[in-house]
């Protein structure tokens, strides 16, 4: 069993040595996430598409001009005694044409559609901001989770060192007859259990480091860092009403929902505009060039054709107006107006629902934060007491006033309280990050 533990410890040490270490601050991690996170990149591309779509050319502000070119060839074999022309005739037609269409009046449809594109662009950009916000929140929690796992390794190292010292002390004491062999076995068992905990904790740390790389878009998933921040609690006194006011003004989800509501209102305006007529101006020019080859034909009388090849041109000019006005279509327009009105009402109710949901989340998160401050203070004091107690118990163990079982209880209590303090610190950071997200502060520079 000892050989197995030594093997795994050696493997971890070699793996740690093979990973290039570099310093990484939280600010640098956020910068890498903003640059490389795939979710952010995809959301930005979608916002770029919406920006590209937002132009007057896509809503019909300008006329459309179309150039057409047609070319036809026909070969006719004439065998008809009643016809004055016999034989083969060849016709070649070339017909270029130019067409223009321009909507002169559309009851404001063009402006409404352009406004819709602007709103869709703003909505897409808002969605991209939400993706950025969520990625940064995930990154912050991932960064401190990695620190949390790293600190747990240090606790495990300290506990393992105590177990190793106690095991070595028990072996020496047994050699001089001061301890029984059962005490030596107990200390060895404790040392082996603590070794397993230490190895498992190092694996957990490496997994969280990989999670951090995935969030930052790091291609080398095994890249390891020296995290420069500290896992420490910095409790703050938040005014709940001030947080609530800031949340309703700056919350990204709510601001994006307002933009979505404007998109719904725009759809309602578009439906109302459909009941009015439209006026289009149409202009076209066509030039037909026909070449007729009669060299393979002759008159029925047998006389030859003096000019077998003829070239003819024909030009056509057209200008006019088209008025479209829907008189009746089974009341589809009226129903569409009603549908968009209902969708707008649903959007308003959805905003009210989100406001109520955010108010609940803020109240819960604020209360949780206040409670976690108290839990952290209790955990800190418990760890300090347990740390002092283990120092005293170590001396008592060596003096023989307490046995291995009693010291093991004290050691486990220290380990549990130390881990509880680390968890309390992380939970406090988690609640503070949630408050920053709800109030939009997480995106502030």
Whether residues 188 and 238 share a domain: the answer is yes
Whether residues 300 and 406 share a domain: the answer is no
What is the DSSP-derived secondary structure letter of residue 300?
T
Examine residue 239 and state whether it is found in any structural domain, yes or no: yes
Give the number of residues written for the chain. 445
Examine residue 44 and state whether it is found in any structural domain, yes or no: no
Q: Give the CATH number, domain containing residue 89.
A: 2.20.200
Task: Tell me how crowded residue 293 is: count the other CB atoms within 10 A of its CB.
Answer: 15
Examine residue 76 and state whether it is found in any structural domain, yes or no: yes
Roughly what angle, to the nearest 10 degrees, separates helices 38-53 and 109-175? Answer: 180
Question: Are 252 and 125 in contact, with CB atoms under 8 Å apart?
Answer: no
* Cα dihedral 216, 220, 222, 228 sign: negative
Whether residues 87 and 215 share a domain: the answer is no
User: For residue 87, is it left (φ>0), alpha (ψ between -120 and 50) or beta?
Assistant: left
Question: Are 78 and 296 in contact, with CB atoms under 8 Å apart?
Answer: no
Compute the distance between CA of residue 36 and CA of residue 354 in angstroms, rounded to an integer.
31
Whether residues 233 and 262 share a domain: the answer is yes
Compute the distance between CA of residue 41 and CA of residue 336 in angstroms, rounded to an integer.
37
Examine residue 43 and state whether it is found in any structural domain, yes or no: no
Which of helix, strand or coil describes residue 95? Answer: strand
Compute the distance between CA of residue 251 and CA of residue 80 in angstroms, rounded to an integer.
87
Compute the distance between CA of residue 360 and CA of residue 348 in angstroms, rounded to an integer.
19
Question: Are 95 and 289 in contact, with CB atoms under 8 Å apart?
Answer: yes
| Helix ranges (DSSP H) in 277-331 | none
What's residue 1's pLDDT?
Answer: 40
Whether residues 135 and 257 share a domain: the answer is yes
Per-residue pLDDT of the chain (445 residues; tens, 9 = 90+): 444 444 444 444 444 444 457 899 999 999 999 999 999 999 999 999 999 999 988 888 888 899 998 888 887 776 666 566 666 778 888 889 999 998 888 778 888 898 999 999 999 999 999 999 999 999 999 999 999 999 999 999 999 999 999 899 889 988 888 888 888 999 999 999 999 999 999 999 999 999 999 999 999 999 999 999 999 989 999 999 999 999 999 999 999 999 999 999 998 888 888 888 889 999 999 988 888 777 776 666 666 677 777 888 888 999 998 888 888 778 888 888 899 999 999 999 999 999 999 999 999 999 999 999 999 999 999 999 999 999 999 888 888 888 888 889 999 999 999 999 999 999 999 999 999 999 999 987 6
Whether residues 298 and 403 share a domain: the answer is no
Tell how strand 21-24 and strand 224-227 pair up. Answer: parallel
Compute the distance between CA of residue 294 and CA of residue 292 in angstroms, rounded to an integer.
6
Beta bridge partners of 320: 282
Compute the distance between CA of residue 198 and CA of residue 8 in angstroms, rounded to an integer.
11
- Domain of residue 372: give its range: 2-36+107-276+329-443
Question: Are 202 and 12 in contact, with CB atoms under 8 Å apart?
Answer: yes
Compute the distance between CA of residue 303 and CA of residue 266 in angstroms, rounded to an integer.
75
Examine residue 433 and state whether it is found in any structural domain, yes or no: yes
Whether residues 284 and 342 share a domain: the answer is no
The gap from C-alpha 152 to its chain's centroid, in whole angstroms, comes to 31
Residue 299 dihedral angles phi and psi, to the nearest 5°: -70, 155
Beta bridge partners of 385: none
Task: Tell me how crowded residue 156 is: count the other CB atoms within 10 A of its CB.
Answer: 22
What's residue 30's pLDDT?
Answer: 95
Whether residues 259 and 289 share a domain: the answer is no
Whether residues 224 and 308 share a domain: the answer is no
What total of structural domains would you count in the chain?
Answer: 2
Q: Which helix (H) or strand (E) holds 194?
A: helix 181-216
Comparing C-alpha atoms, which of 210, 234, 238, 202 is closest to residue 426? 234
Comparing C-alpha atoms, which of 264, 31, 33 is closest to residue 131? 33
Question: Are 413 and 389 in contact, with CB atoms under 8 Å apart?
Answer: yes
Whether residues 333 and 395 share a domain: the answer is yes
Whether residues 222 and 165 share a domain: the answer is yes
Predicted TM-score (pTM) of the model is 0.83
Give the Å distances, CA to CA, from 269 to 111, 113, 232, 320: 11, 10, 54, 29
């Amino acid at each position: 069993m000892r050989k197995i533990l030594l093997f795994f410890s050696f493997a971890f040490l070699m793996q740690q040595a093979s990973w290039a270490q570099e310093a990484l601050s939280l600010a640098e991690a956020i910068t890498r996430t903003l640059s490389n996170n795939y979710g952010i990149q995809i959301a930005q591309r979608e916002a770029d598409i919406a920006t590209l779509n937002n132009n007057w050319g896509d809503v019909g502000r300008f006329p459309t001009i179309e150039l057409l070119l047609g070319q036809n060839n026909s070969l006719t074999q004439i065998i008809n005694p009643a016809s004055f022309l016999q034989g083969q005739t060849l016709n070649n037609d070339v017909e270029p044409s130019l067409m223009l269409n321009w909507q002169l009046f559309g009851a404001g449809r063009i402006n409404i559609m352009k406004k819709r594109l602007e709103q869709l662009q703003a909505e897409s950009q808002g969605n991209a901001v939400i993706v950025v916000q969520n990625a940064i929140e995930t990154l912050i929690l991932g960064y401190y989770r990695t620190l949390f796992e790293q600190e747990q390794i240090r606790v495990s190292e300290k506990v393992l060192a105590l177990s190793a010292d106690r095991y070595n002390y028990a072996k020496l004491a047994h050699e001089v007859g001061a301890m029984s062999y059962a005490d030596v076995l107990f200390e060895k068992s404790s040392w082996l259990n603590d070794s397993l905990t230490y190895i498992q904790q190092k694996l957990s740390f490496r997994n969280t480091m990989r999670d951090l790389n995935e969030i930052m878009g790091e291609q080398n998933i095994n890249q390891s860092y020296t995290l420069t921040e500290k896992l420490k609690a910095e409790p703050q006194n938040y005014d709940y009403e001030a947080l609530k006011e800031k949340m309703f003004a700056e919350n990204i989800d709510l601001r994006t929902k307002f933009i979505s509501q404007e998109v719904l209102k725009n759809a309602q305006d578009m439906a109302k505009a459909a009941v009015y007529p439209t006026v289009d101006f149409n202009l076209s020019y066509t030039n037909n060039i026909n070449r007729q080859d009669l060299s393979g034909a002759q008159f029925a009388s047998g006389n030859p054709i003096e000019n077998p090849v003829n070239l003819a041109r024909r030009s056509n000019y057209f200008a006019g107006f088209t008025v479209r006005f829907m008189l009746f279509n089974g009341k589809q327009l009226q129903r569409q107006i009603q549908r968009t009105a209902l969708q707008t009402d649903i959007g308003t109710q959805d905003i009210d629902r989100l406001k109520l949901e955010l108010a609940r989340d803020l109240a819960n998160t604020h209360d949780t934060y206040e409670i976690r401050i108290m839990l952290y203070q209790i955990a800190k004091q418990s760890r300090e007491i347990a740390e002092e107690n283990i120092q005293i118990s170590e001396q008592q163990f060596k003096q023989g006033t307490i046995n291995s079982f009693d010291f093991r209880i004290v050691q486990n209590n220290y380990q549990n309280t130390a881990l509880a303090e680390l968890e309390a610190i992380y939970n406090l950071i988690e609640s503070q990050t949630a408050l920053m997200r709800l109030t939009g502060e997480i995106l502030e520079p």
